[in-house]
């Protein structure tokens, strides 16, 4: 019985396999059947799934029309850096400015030109401000390292109303120095007693915009370092000075200016400030301008080439913009550069010793 | 198979005989000179011995000079008529060869400055009665001054009499350098403030290099320092017609050409301005427009 059933089972198996073979052979000839009837290798599907990167659609908020393609617009924008070296020099006494190099006026002549347009018979604004736009080449010591934006106060030899309120507190040990600072215009001038008052809370440093000190009081002043933080007097800013009178005068009457780099053209910097009212004496205006140019040049990085590329004088409401010669005021700074360096080093030493 | 090849060959030969090869006509001068340098110099051979054969590496060259793309030097031409911005009759000028060929030699304004031509046109400068300019650029300045309308802005509240330095400042504001000595005002003084002469015209004479005289059309505007009493801004004032301040200057003003309205402005729909402009021009220059 067992053997019989076994035999029949074998027979049926053979028959089935034969049938299968037959069917397969017939279907193979017609190429209708799937050739692979086994599953893909284990892990293949997972691997492929891993390979697929899910594309995440980022939702972009509404961008105003004038800000679309901003990068593209900035890249195709004409260069801000001024260069008219390819233009011709004028030959005639009457000519169209657009076709030639910019006219470079001597400072006093430019002032005279603005006075003409602001005379009572034309614009009738003889008290208008004389504004200066200074264009800078902000390239640093290395080609792709730029000078940072900076804000400074340039000393003005001839004071004028700059429209800012500036309160000054001056520290010095000797009463003579304290008097000098007070006479120069410091709101408060004192010595170690004043430091104690500040520590007690009787005096608030927040009421003063500038803190100026004489190097002699530096050991006592170190106590206030935590309160003053960045405003702590140092020789680089000019707030730590032996000559308190000039330092106070500078911070009281000097003109503040900021050099800002263009957000796209990083090596193009711009300063807009003023040197006085048009009604001021032309020679005094010139001295103020010279002081400004010299102060800007102290920020020049140690590299070849020029720092200031162009200076423009203008005065609203006139649309006129006159290029003025600034190189004439730089010559003596170039010659004193080597001396200045030595002094700077000395100052640094003093600071190190004091701290 | 051979038959077909033969027949094809025969037809091609026949064609050749029927049509002339085109390259025979091309006897144009062309620059094909290259200066090359071998990347690896060939080895030296023994004295009196055979030359060593060159290897493939010896046939690799660096281009030192390609005469086809080399910048050609400027050429000198002799002007036979006045060319604005270049020079007077008889001047020898040095210009780019392509510019000289297209703009000077082809239109017949200049000839090559060969010794024969220089001999031939020696007396040209002396004999012609053509108007001469003091400098080549003065011709351009004359053109641009004669087609402009100078805006002269004067104060609305303070009394004034027009002086050359007012004009000088106005010119400078508009981008022209004109010294005071070059300005000649009308004989009859113009005084103000006077709202009757607001936006009206007068003519002045500018002398370039103390030689060329140009009449310049000026428009007078009043300006007040206070914002409230300031007159409304008129855009493109030179496109609207106006009257002369001094009646005796009408003849001079009519001779000064009027600046045409650019076509792109007309395309953007300034037809009203254009029609007014045409009427104005026909009044000034009667005749076929």
Identity of the residue in A95, A124, A320 whose CB atom sits nearest the CB atom of B177: A95
User: Predicted confidence band at A347 (pLDDT cuts at 50, 70, 90)?
Assistant: very low
* Whether pLDDT at A348 is above 60: no
Binary contact (A91, B135; C-beta < 8 A): yes
Q: How many contiguous H segments (helices) and E segments (strands) does chain A have? A: 12, 11
* Whether pLDDT at A346 is above 90: no
Beta strands per DSSP E along chain A: 95-96, 104-105, 129-137, 150-154, 168-171, 188-190, 210-213, 255-261, 268-277, 308-314, 321-324
* Whether pLDDT at A341 is above 60: no
- Whether the CB of A89 is below 8 Å from some CB of chain B: the reply is no
B132-153 as b/e: b if 16+ CB within 10 A: bbbbbbbbbbbeebbebbbbbb
Q: Which residue has the higher pLDDT, A32 or A77?
A: A77
* Whether pLDDT at A340 is above 50: no
Render pLDDT for A20-59 as a digit per residue (tens, 0 to 9).
Answer: 665 555 544 455 555 666 766 778 878 888 888 888 888 8
> What is the distance in angstroms between the CA of the first residue and the CA of the last residue of chain B?
79
Render pLDDT for A202-251 as a digit per residue (tens, 0 to 9).
Answer: 888 888 889 999 999 999 889 888 888 888 998 888 889 899 889 999 99
Which residue in A93, A104, A118, A125 has the most chain B C-beta atoms within 10 A of its own C-beta, making it the best mutation to test that interface?
A93
Every domain of chain A and the residues it spans: 103-158+256-322, 168-251
Give yes or no for a contact between B141 and B216, defined as CB atoms under 8 angstroms apart.
no
* pLDDT for the residue numbered A293: 95
Q: Which residue has the higher pLDDT, B225 or B28?
A: B225
Render pLDDT for A310-320 as a digit per residue (tens, 0 to 9).
Answer: 999 999 999 99
User: Predicted confidence band at A342 (pLDDT cuts at 50, 70, 90)?
Assistant: very low
* Pairing state between β B201-208 and B212-223: antiparallel
Complete edge-to-edge strand list for the sheet that includes strand B201-208: B149-155, B212-223, B201-208, B183-184
* pLDDT for the residue numbered A338: 44
* Whether pLDDT at A253 is above 70: yes
Mean pLDDT score of chain A: 84
CB pairs under 8 A between A and B: 77
Q: What is the DSSP letter of B253?
A: H
The percentage of residues in chain B with a pLDDT greater than 90, rounded to a whole number, is 56
Domain residues for B33? 2-42+51-66
Contacts of A113 in chain B (CB under 8 A): 169, 172
Which residue in A95, A101, A278, A316 has the most chain B C-beta atoms within 10 A of its own C-beta, making it the best mutation to test that interface?
A95
If asked whether residues B144 and B239 sit together in one domain, one would say: yes
Domain count, chain B: 4
Beta bridge pairs of residue B66: B34
* Whether pLDDT at A188 is above 70: yes
Contacts of B154 in chain A (CB under 8 A): 121-122
If asked whether residues B122 and B199 sit together in one domain, one would say: no
**Rounded to whole angstroms, how far apart are CA atoms A265 and A80?**
8
**Rounded to whole angstroms, how far apart are CA atoms B79 and B270?**
42
If asked whether residues B127 and B153 sit together in one domain, one would say: no
Contacts of A124 in chain B (CB under 8 A): 155, 157-158, 225
User: Predicted confidence band at A353 (pLDDT cuts at 50, 70, 90)?
Assistant: very low
If asked whether residues B32 and B125 sit together in one domain, one would say: no
- In terms of C-beta distances under 8 Å and separation of at least 24 residues, what long-range contacts does A98-106 make, across chains too? A98/B175, A99/B137, A99/B140, A102/A323, A103/A322, A103/A323, A103/B177, A104/A323, A104/A324, A104/A325, A105/A313, A105/A322, A105/A323, A105/A324, A105/A325, A106/A324, A106/A325
Binary contact (B166, A121; C-beta < 8 A): yes
* pLDDT for the residue numbered B114: 94
Q: Which two tokens stand for residue B135?
A: 């400098």
Q: What is the three-class DSSP state of B99?
A: helix
- Residue A121, CA distances (Å) to A281, B186, B190, B222, B225 in order: 20, 19, 13, 10, 11
Q: What is the DSSP letter of B87?
A: B
If asked whether residues B142 and B223 sit together in one domain, one would say: yes
- Whether the CB of A314 is below 8 Å from some CB of chain B: the reply is no
If asked whether residues B149 and B180 sit together in one domain, one would say: yes
Render pLDDT for A110-156 as a digit per residue (tens, 0 to 9).
Answer: 999 999 999 999 999 999 999 999 999 999 999 889 999 999 999 99
CA distance to partner chain A, nearest, from residue B154 (Å)? 5
- In terms of C-beta distances under 8 Å and separation of at least 24 residues, what long-range contacts does B253-256 make, across chains too? B253/B201, B253/B202, B253/B203, B253/B217, B254/B284, B254/B285, B255/B215, B256/B146, B256/B203, B256/B215, B256/B216, B256/B217
- Whether the CB of B222 is below 8 Å from some CB of chain A: the reply is no
* CATH number of the A168-251 domain: 3.40.50.790
Binary contact (A95, B154; C-beta < 8 A): no
Residue keyed to tokens 């500040």: A198
**Rounded to whole angstroms, how far apart are CA atoms A337 and A316?**
36
Q: Which two tokens stand for residue B137?
A: 């650029």
Contacts of A95 in chain B (CB under 8 A): 137, 141, 176-177
DSSP run (H or E) holding B285: none
Could you give the angle at which helices A107-117 and A282-297 cross, rounded to 10 degrees?
A: 120
As a whole number of angstroms, the longest Cα–Cα distance in chain A is 138
If asked whether residues B113 and B145 sit together in one domain, one would say: no
Beta bridge pairs of residue A168: A210
Q: Which two tokens stand for residue A200?
A: 């007690």
* pLDDT for the residue numbered A350: 42
Residue keyed to tokens 């027979």: A11
**Rounded to whole angstroms, how far apart are CA atoms B49 and B62?**
29
User: Predicted confidence band at B110 (pLDDT cuts at 50, 70, 90)?
Assistant: very high
* pLDDT for the residue numbered A205: 87
- Whether the CB of B114 is below 8 Å from some CB of chain A: the reply is no
User: Predicted confidence band at A349 (pLDDT cuts at 50, 70, 90)?
Assistant: very low
How many CB atoms lie under 10 A from the CB of residue B253?
A: 20
Give yes or no for a contact between A94 and B205, defined as CB atoms under 8 angstroms apart.
no
Q: At B110, which CATH number?
A: 3.40.5.10
Render pLDDT for A147-178 as a digit per residue (tens, 0 to 9).
Answer: 999 999 999 999 999 888 889 999 999 999 99
* pLDDT for the residue numbered B241: 84
Binary contact (B225, A123; C-beta < 8 A): yes
Q: What share of chain B is helix, strand, coil (3-state, %, to 5)?
A: 35, 20, 45
User: Predicted confidence band at A344 (pLDDT cuts at 50, 70, 90)?
Assistant: very low
* pLDDT for the residue numbered A47: 84
A215-245 as b/e: b if 16+ CB within 10 A: bbbbeebeebeeeeeebbbbbebbbbbeebb
Burial class (CB in 10 A: 0-12, 13-18, 19+), A99: middle
Q: At B245, which CATH number?
A: 3.10.430.100
- Start-end of H helices in A52-106: 70-76
* pLDDT for the residue numbered B10: 54
**Rounded to whole angstroms, how far apart are CA atoms A298 and A307?**
10
- Whether the CB of B229 is below 8 Å from some CB of chain A: the reply is no
Interface of A with B in 105-124 (CB under 8 A): 113, 116-117, 120-124
How many CB atoms lie under 10 A from the CB of residue A212?
A: 26
Give yes or no for a contact between A273 and A246, defined as CB atoms under 8 angstroms apart.
no
If asked whether residues B34 and B87 sit together in one domain, one would say: no
* Whether pLDDT at A4 is above 80: no
- The arithmetic mean of pLDDT across residues A309-331, rounded, is 92
* Whether pLDDT at B274 is above 60: yes
**Which is nearest to A172 in space by CA: A241, A262, A227?**
A241
Render pLDDT for A277-300 as a digit per residue (tens, 0 to 9).
Answer: 999 999 999 999 999 999 999 999
User: Predicted confidence band at B12 (pLDDT cuts at 50, 70, 90)?
Assistant: low
If asked whether residues B83 and B190 sit together in one domain, one would say: no
Render pLDDT for B48-74 as a digit per residue (tens, 0 to 9).
Answer: 988 889 999 999 999 999 988 889 999
**Which is nearest to A278 in space by CA: A116, A139, A165?**
A116
- Architecture per CATH, domain A103-158+256-322, reads as 2-Layer Sandwich (3.30)
If asked whether residues B158 and B249 sit together in one domain, one would say: yes
- The torsion angles phi and psi of A45, rounded to 5 degrees, stand at -65, -40
* Pairing state between β B176-177 and A95-96: antiparallel
**Rounded to whole angstroms, how far apart are CA atoms A242 and A246?**
9
- The arithmetic mean of pLDDT across residues A180-191, rounded, is 90
- The arithmetic mean of pLDDT across residues B277-283, rounded, is 73
Could you give the angle at which helices A244-253 and A175-184 cross, rounded to 10 degrees?
A: 20
Contacts of B225 in chain A (CB under 8 A): 123-125
If asked whether residues B89 and B193 sit together in one domain, one would say: no
Binary contact (B140, A96; C-beta < 8 A): yes
If asked whether residues B115 and B144 sit together in one domain, one would say: no
- The arithmetic mean of pLDDT across residues B185-196, rounded, is 93
**Which is nearest to A108 in space by CA: A310, A272, A285, A308?**
A285
DSSP run (H or E) holding A25: helix A2-30
**Rounded to whole angstroms, how far apart are CA atoms B236 and A336?**
54
Q: Which two tokens stand for residue A163?
A: 């429209």
Instruction: Give the least confident one: A70-74, A145-149, A155-159, B156-160.
Output: A70-74
* Whether pLDDT at A335 is above 80: no
Binary contact (B209, A92; C-beta < 8 A): yes
Contacts of B175 in chain A (CB under 8 A): 96-98
């Amino acid at each position: 019985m067992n053997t019989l059933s076994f035999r029949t089972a074998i027979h049926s198996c053979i028959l089935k396999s034969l049938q299968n073979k037959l069917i397969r052979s017939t279907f193979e000839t017609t190429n209708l059947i799937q050739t692979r009837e086994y599953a893909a290798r284990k892990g293949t599907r997972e691997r492929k799934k891993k390979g697929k990167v899910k594309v995440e659609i980022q939702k972009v908020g509404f961008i105003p029309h004038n800000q679309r393609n901003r990068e593209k617009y900035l890249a195709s924008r004409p260069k801000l850096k001024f260069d008219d070296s390819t233009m011709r020099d004028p030959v005639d006494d009457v000519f169209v400015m657009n076709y030639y190099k910019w006219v470079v006026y001597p400072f006093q002549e430019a002032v005279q030109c603005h006075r003409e347009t602001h005379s009572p018979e034309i614009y009738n604004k003889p008290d208008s401000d004389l504004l200066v736009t200074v264009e800078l080449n902000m390239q640093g010591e290395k080609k792709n390292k730029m000078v940072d934006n900076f804000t400074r106060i340039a000393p003005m030899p001839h004071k004028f109303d700059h429209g800012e309120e500036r309160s000054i507190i001056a520290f010095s040990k000797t009463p003579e120095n304290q008097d000098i600072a007070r006479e120069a215009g410091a709101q408060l001038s004192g010595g170690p007693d004043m430091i104690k008052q500040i520590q007690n809370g009787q005096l608030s440093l927040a009421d003063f915009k500038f803190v100026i000190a004489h190097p002699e009081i530096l050991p006592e002043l170190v106590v206030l370092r935590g309160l003053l933080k960045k405003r702590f007097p140092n020789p680089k800013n000019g707030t730590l000075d032996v000559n308190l009178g000039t330092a106070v005068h500078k911070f009281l009457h000097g003109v503040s200016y900021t050099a800002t780099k263009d957000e796209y053209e990083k090596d193009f910097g711009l300063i807009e400030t003023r040197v006085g009212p048009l009604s001021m004496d032309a020679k005094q205006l010139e001295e103020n301008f010279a002081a400004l140019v010299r102060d800007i040049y102290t920020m020049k990085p140690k590299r070849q080439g020029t720092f200031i590329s162009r200076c423009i004088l203008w005065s609203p409401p006139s649309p006129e913009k006159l290029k003025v010669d600034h190189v004439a005021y730089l010559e003596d700074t170039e010659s004193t550069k080597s001396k200045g360096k030595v002094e700077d080093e000395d100052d640094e030493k003093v600071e190190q010793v004091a701290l | 198979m051979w038959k077909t090849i033969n027949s094809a060959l025969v037809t091609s030969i026949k064609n050749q005989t029927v049509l002339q090869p085109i390259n025979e006509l091309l006897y144009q001068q062309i620059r094909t000179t290259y200066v090359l340098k071998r990347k690896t110099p060939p080895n030296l051979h023994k004295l009196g011995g055979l030359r060593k054969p060159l290897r493939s590496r010896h046939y690799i060259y660096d281009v030192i000079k390609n005469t086809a793309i080399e910048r050609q030097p400027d050429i000198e031409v002799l002007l036979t008529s006045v060319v604005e911005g270049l020079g007077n009759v008889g001047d020898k000028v040095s210009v780019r060869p392509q510019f000289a060929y297209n703009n000077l030699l082809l239109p017949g304004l200049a000839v090559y400055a060969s010794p024969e031509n220089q001999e031939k046109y020696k007396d040209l400068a002396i004999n012609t009665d053509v108007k001469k300019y003091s400098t080549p650029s003065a011709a351009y300045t004359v053109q641009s001054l004669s087609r402009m309308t100078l805006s002269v802005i004067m104060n609305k509240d303070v009394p004034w009499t027009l002086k050359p330095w007012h004009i000088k400042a106005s010119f400078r504001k508009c981008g022209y350098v004109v010294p005071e000595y070059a300005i000649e005002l009308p004989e009859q003084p113009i005084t103000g403030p006077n709202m009757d002469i607001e936006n009206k015209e007068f003519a002045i004479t500018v002398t370039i290099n103390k030689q060329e005289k140009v009449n310049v059309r000026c428009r007078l505007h009043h300006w007040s320092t206070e914002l409230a009493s300031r007159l409304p801004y008129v855009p493109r004032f030179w496109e609207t017609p106006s009257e002369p301040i001094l009646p005796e200057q009408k003849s001079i003003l009519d001779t000064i050409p009027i600046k045409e309205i650019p076509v792109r402005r007309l395309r953007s729909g300034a037809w009203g301005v254009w029609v007014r402009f045409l009427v104005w021009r026909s009044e000034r220059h009667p005749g076929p427009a």
